Amino acid sequence: MPDSVLSVRDLRVGFATRHGTLVAVDGVSFDIAPGEVLGVVGESGAGKSLTGAAVIGLIEAPGRITSGEVWLAGRRIDTLGAEAMRKVRGRRIGMVFQDPLTSLNPLYRIGDQIVETIRAHANVSEDTARERAIALLQEAGIQGARARIDSYPHEFSGGMRQRVVLALALCAEPDLLIADEPTTALDVSIQAQIIALLKRLCRERGTAVMLITHDMGVIAETADRVAVMYAGRIVEIGPVREVLRNPRHPYTKGLMGAIPTIAARTGRLVQIPGAMPRLAAIPTGCAFHPRCSQAFDRCYSERPERMPAGAAEAACWLFAEPTRVHA
């Protein structure tokens, strides 16, 4: 897809260990169009955060991208050097982490942190950057931003700090924002506000979003498309309505079946019988087969690639067209 903001091709992330390489992200491919919101869901350990970290080039040793490609607006970025990649981070790709409460440096005024970020990416004066920071904070819903810009992080509540974090992630106007469970650490009562804010800020700027979350309610309200991950792979990806209403992959069905109503906002992905395999013991064939009620011969030996399933794509042998089955 040439017009994608982000294009990830066959991405693999591995951890070198004494017993060989553990593959934590295994052949993940997806695209995000400009302004599009892609939701990423899956149980804990599915590889969601690692995929995000790989895109922005922040995988920590001993982990590393072992193969695949990451393209940003037509430019390959996974091969960039450290300094070139630094310029991409913040400026082209922003990121918000799991815990907004600890994302801000406690010793610096929030304004200084924003100004510092703006000036790391744009050749503007301190005063210009400061004015921009004030405007941005205001937009992010900080009342009296001009007065509060010189406050320290601990002087804000959790929800307010998350607004500051969003302002920081967006202050250099990236084309893509990776939000890794941006509300998990927050009070339930303010989660919806923050998601609404994220949605509004990104829509106004045309910023595409990769939204990692456990909350199906958030996906339903926010995402255009959704990718479901299991054991390091995308098992289903498609338009959000299609996937939520009419899940194809047995794993996605399990996830959806576990949610009574989206409006009920119970949110959390509830257990499907069994547990996701450890990295060192990923089953042969379809990694989901030990937990799948529909598994058949082929699932035990052959690994399914993604194939069309309705308006979505699923990596499941149930959707193999007869003609594609080789003897």
Partner 1 sequence: MLAFTIRRLFEALVVMLTVALLAFVLFRYVGDPVSQMVGQDTSLEDRTRLRLELGLDDPVYIQFARFVGNAVRFDFGISYQVKQPVTRLIAERMPATIELALAAALFAVALGIPMGVYTGIHRDSWLSKLFLTVSLIGISLPTFLIGILLIYIFAVWLNVLPSFGRGDTIPIGFWRTGLLTASGLKALVLPAITLGLFQMTLVTRLVRSEMLEVLRTDYIKFARARGLPERAINFGHALRNTLVPVITVIGLQLGSIIAFAIITETVFQWPGMGLMFIQAVQHADIPVMAAYLLLVAFLFVLINFIVDLIYVRIDPRIRILRRGA
Ligand X SMILES: Nc1ncnc2c1ncn2[C@@H]1O[C@H](COP(=O)(O)OP(=O)(O)OP(=O)(O)O)[C@@H](O)[C@H]1O
Backbone angles phi, psi at 178, to 5 degrees: -100, 115
Q: How far is the CB of 133 from partner 1 (least distance, A)?
A: 13
- What is the rounded (10 degree) CA torsion for 207, 55, 142, 104? -170
Q: Which of residues 131-190 bind ligand X (CB under 6 A)?
A: none
Retrieve residue 224's tokens.
């255009």
**Which residues are at the interface with partner 1 (CB under 8 A)?**
56, 58, 82, 86-91, 94-95, 97-99, 102-108, 116-117, 120-121, 152, 154-155, 165, 168-169, 172
Selection from Mg ion, ligand X, ligand SF4, none that 318 binds (CB < 5 to 8 A by kind) is: ligand SF4
Q: Closer to partner 1 by CB, 107 or 281: give it.
A: 107
Site residues (CB under 6 A) for ligand X, limited to 34-63: 42, 44-50, 63
Nearer to ligand X, 180 or 313 (CB): 180
Nearer to partner 1, 41 or 178 (CB): 178
> Which one of ligand X, ligand SF4, partner 1, none interacts with residue 58, CB within 5 to 8 A by kind?
partner 1
Using CB under 6 A as the binding criterion, the count of chain residues that bind ligand X stands at: 12
104 binds ligand X (CB under 6 A): no
Rounded CA-CA distance 68/62 in Å is 18
Closest separation in Å from C-beta 285 to ligand SF4: 7
| Contacted entry of ligand SF4, Mg ion, ligand X, none for residue 288, CB cut-off 5 to 8 Å set by kind | ligand SF4
Mask: binding to Mg ion, 33-52, rule CB under 5 A, as x and -? ----------------x---
Nearer to ligand X, 55 or 195 (CB): 55
301 binding ligand X? (CB under 6 A): no
Q: Is 213 in the site for Mg ion (CB under 5 A)?
A: no
Least distance from ligand X to the Cβ atom of residue 278, Å:
7
Q: Which residue has the tokens 């992080």?
A: 153
Q: Is 271 in the site for ligand X (CB under 6 A)?
A: no
User: Could you tell me the smallest distance in angstroms from the CB atom of residue 44 to ligand X?
Assistant: 3
Cis peptide before 62 (omega within 30 of 0): yes
Which tokens sit at 203? 């829509």
- Contact yes or no for 24/47 (Cβ under 8 A): yes
Whether the CB-CB separation of 108 and 101 falls below 8 Å is answered with: no
Residue 63 touches which member of partner 1, ligand X, ligand SF4, none, C-beta under 5-8 Å by kind: ligand X
Which residue lies nearest Mg ion, judged by its C-beta?
Answer: 49
**Which residue's entry shows tokens 């991208």?**
65
Beta strands in the chain (DSSP E): 6-17, 20-32, 37-41, 63-72, 75-76, 93-96, 176-180, 208-212, 225-230, 233-239, 307-309, 312-314
Q: Are strands 208-212 and 37-41 parallel, antiparallel or unpaired?
A: parallel
Q: Which residues bind ligand SF4 (CB under 6 A)?
A: 249-250, 286, 288-289, 292, 294-295, 299, 304, 316-318
DSSP-derived secondary structure for 244-303: HHS--SHHHHHHHHT-S-TTTT--SPPPPSS-PPPGGGPPSSSTTGGG-TT--HHHHHSP
DSSP lists the bridge partners of residue 236 as 228, 314
- Give the nearest distance from C-beta 57 to ligand SF4 in angstroms: 32
Closer Cβ to Mg ion, 49 or 113, answer by number: 49
Alpha-carbon distance 186 to 43, whole Å?
A: 19
What's at 68, amino acid-wise? G
By CB under 6 A, name the binding residues for ligand X.
Answer: 15, 24, 42, 44-50, 63, 279
By CB under 5 A, name the binding residues for Mg ion.
Answer: 49
